[in-house]
Amino acid sequence: MPMNRDQLLQMQRSGRVYQERADNALMPWDQRAPSPVLGEDIAKYRRDLCVKLKKLLPEGHEFRKVQYRALNDSALDALEPQLLRAVHAEAHNPDTVPPGEFRKVIEVDQGGTRITKCVGQESFVKAMGRPGRRVLSFRTDQGFVDASGRGLR
Using one digit for the tens of pLDDT, what is the confidence trace for 34-70?
998 877 889 999 999 999 999 999 999 999 999 999 9
In a domain, 150, yes or no: no
**Is the distance from CB of 106 to CB of 115 less than 8 angstroms?**
yes
Q: Is residue 82 included in any domain, yes or no? A: yes
17 assigned to some structural domain: yes
> Cα–Cα distance between 144 and 39 in angstroms, integer?
84
| Residues 6 or more apart in contact with residue 14 via CB below 8 angstroms | 42
Cα separation of 83 and 70, whole Å?
16
1 pLDDT more than 70: no
Give the model confidence (pLDDT) of 104-130 as tens digits.
999 988 998 999 998 988 877 777 777
Task: Please report whether residue 142 resides in a domain.
Answer: no
Domain assignment of residue 50, given as a range: 5-93
Backbone angles phi, psi at 98, to 5 degrees: -60, 150
Structural domain count, the chain: 1
Evaluate whether residue 104 is within a structural domain: no
Q: Is residue 127 part of a domain?
A: no
For residue 45, give the nearest of 80, 78, 74 by alpha carbon. Answer: 80
